């Protein structure tokens, strides 16, 4: 009798490689930064907003394509069937497709700077890209040292949100900085959760992600505090009168948060079962971010 291993279909592998839901993490800093700008300045430049969103998506595509390229160099993705390098068997194609996305993304940011006659937004976004490169590219590979979560917080939080705010107003705002902390935390939550099912492979490849360092049990115990901080900070800023009361709408992310914490508490050490926790974390990020932004507009 022959044993058959069930392989996911090619379509499913491609979908897992492209990870469409992940792109909401690129949209959210732009959405929240723009929403705060609209709240404070009562005007919105749609061309800048839509160009910024498209550029952010292209830049995140570069980050993910080059992640598969750099990870194929270290061997960490050997067993990852949905790596684009493994799927296409053509590392150089993936590398250049990534660079094309980056070039187009930066071109969009360049257009915003041209309209504004001001290079500030380009400077901030190039800094985000550099953090993204340091996460995975040689000689830095800081993600392998467990520093990815810090880079992620600053790129998607203070830097990304401030760039979006500045693109609308050509000024800075303490309120947007406060809101950026929430976007930074919820995006970092996604990255943290994406490593639960990878601990064994990461350890074998010498990647010391925070979960490799602390273990999945402690990681699962930390999660409610991590998630709770998003809602505690929002509630505190509303109570202090810094945020409008409508931003409490972001508490609609609580059901997804409870689901995430319960799921991880139960399955933290079963890679197969816990592997989808990254997508539950994306739901937490999506609802809390979308409704936080709405709270500034309503």
Ligand X SMILES: C/C(=C\COP(=O)(O)OP(=O)(O)O)CCC[C@H](C)CCC[C@H](C)CCCC(C)C
Query: Would you tell me which residues interact with ligand LXD6PMIU (CB under 6 A)?
Result: 19, 22, 25, 60, 63-64, 152, 187, 190-191, 194, 278
- The residue with its CB nearest to ligand LXD6PMIU is 194
Q: Angle, to 10 degrees, between the axis of helix 254-267 and the axis of helix 216-239?
A: 160
**Does the protein bind ligand X through residue 129 (CB under 6 A)?**
yes
- Residues 37, 48, 56, 256: which binds ligand X (CB under 6 A)? 56
- Report the half-sphere exposure of 195 (CA within 13 A, side-chain side): 28
Express the helix, strand and coil content of the chain in percent, nearest 5 each: 80, 0, 20
- Residues 98, 132, 253, 289: which binds ligand X (CB under 6 A)? 132
Residue whose C-alpha is closest to residue 25's, from 145, 128, 175, 177 = 128
Q: How far apart are CA 36 and CA 24, in angstroms?
A: 18
- Residues 151, 182, 183, 211: which binds ligand X (CB under 6 A)? 151
Q: How far is the CB of 77 from ligand LXD6PMIU (least distance, A)?
A: 11
Separation in Å, CA 222 to CA 154, 192, 228: 20, 11, 10
Question: What does the block give as tokens for 186?
Answer: 């919820």
86 vs 194, beta carbon nearer ligand LXD6PMIU = 194
- By a kind-dependent CB cut-off of 5 to 8 A, residue 190 interacts, out of ligand X, ligand LXD6PMIU, none, with ligand LXD6PMIU
122 vs 248, beta carbon nearer ligand X = 122
- Residues 48, 53, 121, 152: which binds ligand X (CB under 6 A)? 152
Those residues with Cβ within 8 angstroms of residue 119's Cβ, 6 or more apart along the chain or in another chain: 113
- By a kind-dependent CB cut-off of 5 to 8 A, residue 56 interacts, out of ligand X, ligand LXD6PMIU, none, with ligand X
**Does the protein bind ligand X through residue 247 (CB under 6 A)?**
no
Q: Which of residues 159-178 bind ligand X (CB under 6 A)?
A: 160
Q: How far apart are CA 37 and CA 296, in angstroms?
A: 9
Q: How far is the CB of 214 from ligand LXD6PMIU (least distance, A)?
A: 18
**Does the protein bind ligand X through residue 128 (CB under 6 A)?**
yes
Whether residue 9 contacts residue 267, with contact meaning beta carbons closer than 8 Å, is answered with no
**Does the protein bind ligand X through residue 34 (CB under 6 A)?**
no
Q: How far is the CB of 5 from ligand X (least distance, A)?
A: 21
Q: How far apart are CA 98 and CA 81, in angstroms?
A: 19
Those residues with Cβ within 8 angstroms of residue 250's Cβ, 6 or more apart along the chain or in another chain: 182, 230, 231, 234, 287, 288, 289, 291, 292, 295
Whether residue 167 contacts residue 52, with contact meaning beta carbons closer than 8 Å, is answered with yes
211 vs 249, beta carbon nearer ligand LXD6PMIU = 211
Q: How far apart are CA 33 and CA 162, in angstroms?
A: 6
Residues that bind ligand X (CB under 6 A): 26, 29, 56, 59-60, 63-64, 67, 71, 77, 128-129, 131-132, 135, 148, 151-152, 155-156, 160, 191, 194-195, 198
């Amino acid at each position: 009798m022959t044993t058959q291993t069930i392989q996911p279909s090619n379509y499913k592998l491609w979908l897992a490689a492209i990870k469409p839901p992940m792109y909401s993490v690129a949209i959210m800093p732009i959405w929240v930064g723009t929403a705060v700008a609209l709240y404070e300045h009562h005007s919105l430049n749609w061309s800048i907003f839509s160009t910024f969103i498209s550029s952010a998506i292209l830049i995140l595509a570069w980050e993910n394509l080059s992640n598969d390229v750099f990870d194929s160099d270290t061997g960490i993705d050997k067993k990852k069937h949905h790596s684009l390098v493994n799927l296409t068997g053509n590392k150089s194609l993936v590398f250049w497709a990534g660079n094309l996305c980056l070039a187009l993304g930066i071109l969009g940011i360049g257009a915003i700077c041209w309209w504004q006659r001001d290079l500030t937004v380009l400077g901030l976004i190039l800094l985000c890209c550099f953090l993204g490169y340091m996460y995975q590219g040689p000689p830095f590979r800081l993600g392998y040292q467990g520093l990815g979560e810090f880079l992620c917080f600053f790129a998607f939080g203070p830097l990304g949100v401030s760039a979006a705010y500045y693109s609308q107003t050509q000024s800075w705002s303490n309120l947007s900085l406060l809101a950026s902390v929430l976007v930074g935390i919820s995006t970092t939550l996604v990255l943290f959760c994406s490593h639960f099912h990878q601990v064994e492979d990461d350890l074998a490849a010498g990647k010391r992600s925070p979960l490799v360092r602390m273990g999945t049990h402690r990681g699962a115990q930390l999660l409610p505090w991590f998630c709770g901080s998003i809602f505690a900070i929002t509630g505190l800023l509303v109570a202090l009168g810094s945020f409008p009361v409508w931003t409490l709408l972001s508490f609609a992310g609580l059901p997804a948060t409870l689901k995430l914490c319960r799921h991880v508490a139960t399955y933290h050490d079963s890679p197969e079962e816990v592997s989808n926790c990254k997508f539950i974390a994306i739901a937490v990020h999506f609802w809390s971010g979308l409704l936080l932004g709405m709270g500034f507009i309503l």
